[in-house]
Structure 1
Amino acid sequence: MSKPEIPAIQNVTAGRAVRCAAERAPEKVAISFEDRSLTYRELADRISRVAALSSEKWALGAGDRVVLLAPNCIEYAELLFGLTEMGVVVATLNPSLTSSELKKIVADCDPTLVIAHNELRDVVDSALPTETFGGNQTDLIKDIQPIDNYPAITEEHPFVIGYTSGTTGDPKGVVLSHRSRTWTLMAMGVEWGCFGPNDDFLLMTPLFHAAGFVFLAAPLMFGGTVTITRSFDVDRAITLLSTDRHTGVFLVPTMIHRMLDSLAESNIPFPGETLKTVISNAAALPQATKEKVVNQWGEGLLHETYGATEYGIVTNIRPEDQLLKEDSVGTPFANMEAQIRDQDGHVINGEGTGLLYARGPSTFSGYWRNPAETRKAVQDGWVTVGDVARRDKDGCYYIVDRAKDMVVSGGVNIYPREIEKVLMALPDVVECAVIGVPDSEWGERLRAFVVAADSARLTSSQIIEHCRNQLASAKIPRDILFTDDLPKNASGKVLKNRLRERKKREQ
């Protein structure tokens, strides 16, 4: 008797998931952007034509690297899925990079081709092979026929290279596999439940960023609709979320702060009845802000997640725990393990504080052409990005600070995030950041940058007095600098390296 034929294993990729969704509901709207929308049938067809274009006209093959430089747009999804389904590795770069910043990253990833939105063409070195799209240009795939068969791409094959923001040094290329991204998407579907066929997810963050991409891809993987905006506008965000249309939204803390401020001066009913999930990430969401969201937007909505491009998503705190576990980022995400290690590298079991490590199918494959930095980040299969965390008796995690941001003043180790938390409790403080600056007597002293509310008459002495009532003397900032804003990267993280470069302003 002959053995039964074993079906060929189908590797899971994000592009394949879109094709499967198109088989289920071809005429359902997949993506909506400004005055355009694509059904799943149209999206799958355009992805197929991009795939054909990449091999037939551009002669790209598996392993070739392509830089994608574009603002949020429908073509971003088409290009990303079409290229990666052919095994092309896409470096998704920040469209706001300067020419010099772009040149440095291009030299690192050594792309075969740069694909740039027409409005960014002048940023790209004219010596680089470049294709442009957008604006009044002819559609790149206008005369291209869909591909018949996609090549077999393994789940371990590189999907994208995402460059770090360079908050602690030169940007590093984070290599993410197809497996990393699809496992992240599946865990998101389980945890947040706002990406299915009856959902319309609102995305207002940059698509080039790792978080932006996964919130684009998750609805498409599960047959939902994703509504993309070109950028974040507070008034438009409130209007969109006040309608009975969107079921989920991803917001970085800066967006939430601006929305809360704007809503405080408005009588508009908010949010709409269909909204069931609000997800915050990219930077710490202060406990005072969490309480405002719960009290003003309603219970059962807010999730805060912790992760990094190298990890994927590590933890999530659910709505029911937001007021019970102050400042916590929750428990490990689906299929993720987390542990705390002491300064000697020993695992701390139970409660404790130390360097956070994580392990799971969503972690990165290493830094591009940078084995030394990869060895620092990956130890025994566990990944760390240098964040110090605490775990309580219930297994909930709390991010203390980045190890590199720790300040040593008079021999005392100080984590700025603790001081920032105290400052954010002041009603008139909109945002803040604390850093260490050189001091001849103490080695380092604390400097606080404070963004105050427009109507506030906050003074340095009031802030210092507030801190004196809640912090040990070594943790009280010696310098208080008021500023209109804080420098941030595209994901909303404060760029403390830029703050360290600022000259002290006169009060």
Structure 2
Amino acid sequence: MTSEEAKTQLDSQVREIINWHFSPETGCPFWLDWAKKNFDPRGVVNSYEDIVAKFPHFQDEWLRDLQPEVWVPAAFKGKPFNIFETGGTTGMPKQRIGWNDFRVDYEEFSHKLKDEHFPKGESWIMVGPTGPRRLRLAVEHLANYRGSACYFVDLDPRFVKKAISNKQFDVARQYMDHVIDQAVLILKNRKVSAIFTTPKLLEALAEKIDLYAAGIRGCFVGGTTMTPQYVRFIVEEVLEGRIGFYPTYGNTLMGLAASVPILPEDNFSVTYYAPQPRAVLRVVDPKQTENTVDYDQWGRVELTTLTKEFFMPRFLERDEAMRRKPRAPYAWDGVADVRPFGAMEKTIVEGVY
């Protein structure tokens, strides 16, 4: 796909989603009410550039404070929905409702996995947050889509962050050991060839068991910050260059941004590409968010989600990244070396996820 074809595809998606969410026959109460107070974007917003120019930033308080029903499109009325949470270390978490988006997102991602690393029909294990998170259903669906079953070891990241914030490091370590011990038990007693976890949990797991000898051939990770130095450590020391490594950047609001294979000239810097046209990532100037930064410069990550289940324009993530040029097979910008926004100026508690 050329950049022109990608733009045409994205602008077509914008028009379809705007028409869907702002038409009384199909739209949700929130956006129909918003249009009455602001403007009706149908016929006015015809491109992604129009979204940037005409929509304000989406506020996370809307997902914290409002009842989930305000996000139900009229076309989905009466269909029970999933409720997924994100964030919420303290106070009310952000909640996104959904029906089938997570399946579409992860089926698309499946085609980016090599069968040699994720053999079809062979079992997976997920060591990470389950509970109210989209990730649990998504990873299981991904495994099922590839003909596989999936074992689960739960992690409560809110508990870990709270323990670390309270300087209860021994408690956090005990909990992490408790999670890892459960995963080791499964790997020693069941045939598992693929794992999803966070980088820090992967490192802790590798200290307790030889992952390759245990049968692991593919590792799909997401969550905590990975500097190029840490990526190199994971690839060369933890996975010993023998296990397929698939870093991802994603959340409940976006879906999944896959990484491109790391080339020698990347020096272990990981770049992720959004699942356009369903979601778009921009790296913007934090002080003038209508502007993107130059390539290979740092900026704040801005997310726009464009599906019939959920429309979210210009949400400023709590992340910063470097803007990267398109790289095949992607014909749009990427984000690299993602880390918490303001990480260089203040201490950020990430926990293990």
- Cα distance change, pair 362–214 in 1 and its aligned pair in 2 (3 A): farther
Amino acid aligned to 1:259: L
Question: For residue 398 of structure 1, what is the aligned residue in structure 2?
Answer: 336
- Cα distance change, pair 359–106 in 1 and its aligned pair in 2 (3 A): closer
1:160 to 38, 61, 82: 82
- Tell me if the contact between 2:102 and 2:138 (Cα under 8 Å) persists in the aligned partners: yes
Unaligned runs of 5+ in 2: 1-27, 29-62, 70-74, 156-177, 327-332
Distance in 2 (CA, whole Å) between partners of 1:212 and 1:341 is 31
Structure 2 residue 204 is matched with structure 1 residue 204? no
Normalised by the length of structure 1, the TM-score is: 0.41
Distance in 1 (CA, whole Å) between partners of 2:227 and 2:181 is 23
Distance in 1 (CA, whole Å) between partners of 2:82 and 2:334 is 31
Amino acid aligned to 1:354: G
What is the CA-CA distance between 1:255 and the residue it aligns to? 0.9
Structure 2 residue 121 is matched with structure 1 residue 175? no
- Cα distance change, pair 324–110 in 1 and its aligned pair in 2 (3 A): closer
Question: For residue 141 of structure 2, what is the aligned residue in structure 1?
Answer: 217
| Secondary structure in 2 matching 1:171 | coil
Distance in 2 (CA, whole Å) between partners of 1:288 and 1:253 is 13
Backbone CA RMSD of aligned residues: 4.0
What is the CA-CA distance between 1:176 and the residue it aligns to? 3.1
What is the CA-CA distance between 1:284 and the residue it aligns to? 1.2
Distance in 2 (CA, whole Å) between partners of 1:163 and 1:235 is 26
Structure 2 residue 177 is matched with structure 1 residue 245? no
What is the CA-CA distance between 1:202 and the residue it aligns to? 0.9
| Residues paired across the two proteins, number | 251
Give the % identical residues: 11
Distance in 2 (CA, whole Å) between partners of 1:401 and 1:389 is 6
Bigger radius of gyration, 1 or 2?
1
Deviations 1:116-172, CA, capped at 9 Å, x for gaps: xxxxxxxxxxxxxxxxxxxxxxxxxxxxxxxxxxxxx859967322233324x6324
Question: For residue 253 of structure 2, what is the aligned residue in structure 1?
Answer: 310
- Cα distance change, pair 166–331 in 1 and its aligned pair in 2 (3 A): same
Normalised by the length of structure 2, the TM-score is: 0.57
What is the CA-CA distance between 1:333 and the residue it aligns to? 4.0
Deviations 1:271-323, CA, capped at 9 Å, x for gaps: 147533201112113434322332232335112111222112134243x4488
Question: For residue 14 of structure 2, what is the aligned residue in structure 1?
Answer: none
Amino acid aligned to 2:336: Y
2:303 to 358, 363, 386: 358
Structure 2 residue 265 is matched with structure 1 residue 344? no
Structure 2 residue 202 is matched with structure 1 residue 256? yes
Structure 2 residue 266 is matched with structure 1 residue 324? yes
- Cα distance change, pair 354–298 in 1 and its aligned pair in 2 (3 A): same
Amino acid aligned to 1:184: D
Amino acid aligned to 2:101: S
Question: For residue 270 of structure 1, what is the aligned residue in structure 2?
Answer: 211
Unaligned runs of 5+ in 1: 1-62, 64-104, 112-152, 264-268, 367-377, 407-413, 417-433, 436-485, 494-507
- Tell me if the contact between 1:389 and 1:397 (Cα under 8 Å) persists in the aligned partners: yes
**Structure with the larger helix share:** 2
- Higher RCO, 1 or 2 (CA under 8 Å, sep at least 6)? 2
